Amino acid sequence: METIYSKSVPGRRTTGLAPDPVKEGAAAFLPEGCLRKGLPGLPECSELDVVRHFTQLASKNFSVDGNFYPLGSCTMKYDPKINEVAAGLTGFTSLHPMLAQLANGQGCQGAMHVLYTLERSLCAITGMEAFTLQPMAGANGEFTGVAIIAAYHKSLGRDRRIMLIPDAAHGTNPASAAMAGFTVVELPSKDGMIDPEAIRAAIEKYGDSIAGLMMTCPNTLGLMEVHVKEIVELLHGIDALVYYDGANMNAILGKMRVGDAGFDVVHLNLHKTFATPHGGGGPGAGPVGVCERLIPFLPSPRITRKADGSYEFLTDAPQSIGKIGPFYGSFGVLLRAMAYIWRLGGEGLERVAEYAVLNANYMRVKLKDVLDIPYDRLCMHEFVASAPHGLRALDLAKGLLERGFHAPTIYFPLLVHECLMPEPTETESKQTLDAFCDALADIVAKGREHPEELAAAPHGLPVTRMDETEAARGMHLTEDM
Ligand SMILES: *Cc1c(COP(=O)(O)O)cnc(C)c1O
């Protein structure tokens, strides 16, 4: 691919602003030693060269706005453009984050209204008592949540070191627990779900060294956990806490409230369930909700509403785990989530869950004869499948890329052989799902006939088949010019 440097022609310019005020201004006050001796090695291009270059690059970027993106576990749903209108309002974009610190938020009451209303909305949606919006991602929310669990036990003078985590969990769960100082004990799942017997056995073995359990529901296989009540009771029986990884909340919005089911801590991934675009690793937001008895341990500051209706940040919380993120979280993501909730309302949020589950089941049934489906029963918002006939999941994924579809998640969860995990999300039409299923059926049929051709896919894309090991181990980060 051509870089902007390869388009550089010595002396080519766009119409500049003359004279250069920055350079002259800088020369006036910067010490001699700090001034450049020559021009920086920037490409020399016309304005049109630059515009064409970046427009063409942008069109190579794969996004939900361009194509179907069924990346399981990531909830790559469409971001309604009204979210972007809200996030682009100058009243919000021109706010400086330090304003919140000045005069305790007097200069940004509107933004604080958004934050406070979002906290209350998330409480209503999940049935939790209080939320913090500080965490910057799902994993950051997990860390916050387990740190709160640690602080809870510590406040009671207990030494509880063990966190139970099912084997199907997202990798961030054990990582967050380890970062918060816990020893992770893995629970073997049975028939794709948490087995209460495995919890009984762990309680037998570790007794009151157990601080809590982290579970994802629906789980990473796309299955609803059916023993929720029993699991919560078992852990509460030894005063251990139950953490709910809410990354898959889009499957149960308006259908089940985590707080009503007895969970003590939950994180949500606003960039998944509440629609902020999140390809390429950010930005995100992972708010954490807690039950009544954990409120004192929430990160500081917390936002409150005074009797006169104005808002302020409270920092007076002696048992708080402290500050977990800069300022008060990813404001742009929080604002989009609020816009999304306001736009859909309670009824609309419930329909999100219905359509997400309907779409996933439609695809699961339609692909029954194309892929192997290990847990062939009603799924929630996503499902797992195995590549059939000795084909590799990687090859099917690459075959999809050359047909204009983003591949589903592959090789996760680790429990399933040659795993593919499609998550259609609720925003896709039947026609799109049909086109995807037809493409996959065609890839499997052709792959069986000509495996060597499929093993070389994708054809005709800017990046074809890579040596994945070399790409990770022998990274080549500069261009040879
Ligand atoms: C995405 C995800 C996470 C991690 O969230 P990030 O926002 O990517 O840090 C944790 N658990 C599950 C089940 C997830 O799908």
Domain ranges across the chain: 4-59, 84-342, 352-470
Probe target for ligand 1 pocket from 134, 245, 421, with the most ligand atoms within 8 Å of CB: 245
Q: Whose CA is nearest to atom 7 of ligand 1?
A: 138
220 lines ligand 1 (CB under 6 A): yes
215 lines ligand 1 (CB under 6 A): no
The answer to whether the beta carbons of residues 146 and 192 sit under 8 Å apart is no
Position 107 scores a pLDDT of: 78
CATH of 84-342, picked from 3.40.50.970, 3.40.640.10, 2.40.128.20, 3.30.390.50, is 3.40.640.10
Comparing 20-29, 296-305, 370-379, the range with the smallest average pLDDT is 20-29
Position 16 scores a pLDDT of: 67
- Please compute the mean of the pLDDT values over residues 72-100 and round it to a whole number: 91
Position 38 scores a pLDDT of: 84
Q: Whose CA is nearest to atom 8 of ligand 1?
A: 138
170 lines ligand 1 (CB under 6 A): yes
Ligand 1 centroid distance, CA of 106 (Å): 35
- Please compute the mean of the pLDDT values over residues 196-209 and round it to a whole number: 97
Ligand 1 centroid distance, CA of 139 (Å): 6
Locate the ligand 1 atom nearest the alpha carbon of residue 286 and give its number. 7
What confidence category does residue 212 fall into, taking pLDDT thresholds of 50, 70 and 90?
A: very high
Locate the ligand 1 atom nearest the alpha carbon of residue 220 and give its number. 13
- Please compute the mean of the pLDDT values over residues 268-296 and round it to a whole number: 92
CA–CA distances in Å: residue 176 to residues 122, 361, 442 = 23, 32, 41
126 lines ligand 1 (CB under 6 A): no
268 lines ligand 1 (CB under 6 A): no
Q: Flag whether pLDDT at 476 surpasses 90.
A: no
The answer to whether the beta carbons of residues 250 and 381 sit under 8 Å apart is yes
Ligand 1 centroid distance, CA of 140 (Å): 9
Q: Flag whether pLDDT at 334 surpasses 60.
A: yes
Position 464 scores a pLDDT of: 86
172 lines ligand 1 (CB under 6 A): yes
Ligand 1 centroid distance, CA of 280 (Å): 14
Q: Flag whether pLDDT at 96 surpasses 80.
A: yes
144 lines ligand 1 (CB under 6 A): no
Cα gap 258→243, rounded to integer Å: 10
- Please compute the mean of the pLDDT values over residues 27-47 and round it to a whole number: 85
- Please compute the mean of the pLDDT values over residues 235-247 and round it to a whole number: 98
Q: Flag whether pLDDT at 469 surpasses 70.
A: yes
Q: For the segment 375-417, what is each residue's pLDDT rounded down to a tens digit?
A: 989 999 999 999 999 999 999 999 999 999 999 999 988 889 9
Position 306 scores a pLDDT of: 94
Ligand 1 centroid distance, CA of 247 (Å): 6
C-alpha torsion 69→73→82→132, nearest 10: -160
Comparing 127-136, 175-184, 392-401, 466-475, the range with the smallest average pLDDT is 466-475
| Three-state SS letters, the chain | CCCHHHHCCCCCCCCCCCCCHHHHHHHHHCCHHHCCCCCCCCCCCCHHHHHHHHHHHHHHCCCCCCCCCCECCCCCCCCCHHHHHHHCCHHHHCCCHHHHCHHHHHHHHHHHHHHHHHHHHHHHHHCCCEEECCCCCHHHHHHHHHHHHHHHHHHCCCCCCEEEEECCCCCHHHHHHHHCCCEEEEECEECCEECHHHHHHHHHHHHHHEEEEEEECCCCCCCCCCCHHHHHHHHHCCCCEEEEEECCHHHCCCCCCCCCCCCCEEEECHHHHCCCCCHHHCCCCCCEEECHHHHHHCCCCEEEECCCCCEEEECCCCCCCCCCCCCCCCHHHHHHHHHHHHHHHHHHHHHHHHHHHHHHHHHHHHCCCCCECCCCCCCCCCCCEECCCCCCHHHHHHHHHHCCCCCCEECCCCCCCCEEEECCCCCCCHHHHHHHHHHHHHHHHHHHHCHHHHHCCCCCCCCCCCCHHHHHHCCCCCCCC
Higher pLDDT, 451 or 462: 451
Residue 477 burial (10 A CB sphere; 0-12, 13-18, 19+) = exposed
Ligand 1 centroid distance, CA of 465 (Å): 28
Instruction: Give the mean pLDDT of the chain.
Output: 93
Position 21 scores a pLDDT of: 60
320 lines ligand 1 (CB under 6 A): no
- What's the pTM? 0.91
Cα gap 394→115, rounded to integer Å: 42
- Please compute the mean of the pLDDT values over residues 116-141 and round it to a whole number: 97
Q: Flag whether pLDDT at 326 surpasses 90.
A: no
Locate the ligand 1 atom nearest the alpha carbon of residue 269 and give its number. 7
Ligand 1 centroid distance, CA of 286 (Å): 9
- Percent pLDDT > 70 in the chain is 95
247 lines ligand 1 (CB under 6 A): yes
Q: For the segment 421-444, what is each residue's pLDDT rounded down to a tens digit?
A: 999 999 999 999 999 999 999 999
Position 24 scores a pLDDT of: 65
Comparing 49-63, 158-172, 389-403, 437-451, the range with the smallest average pLDDT is 49-63
What confidence category does residue 142 fall into, taking pLDDT thresholds of 50, 70 and 90?
A: very high
Topology of 352-470 in CATH?
Aspartate Aminotransferase, domain 1 (3.90.1150)
Which long-range contacts does 51-56 make (Cβ < 8 Å, 24+ apart)?
Answer: 53/2, 53/4, 53/7
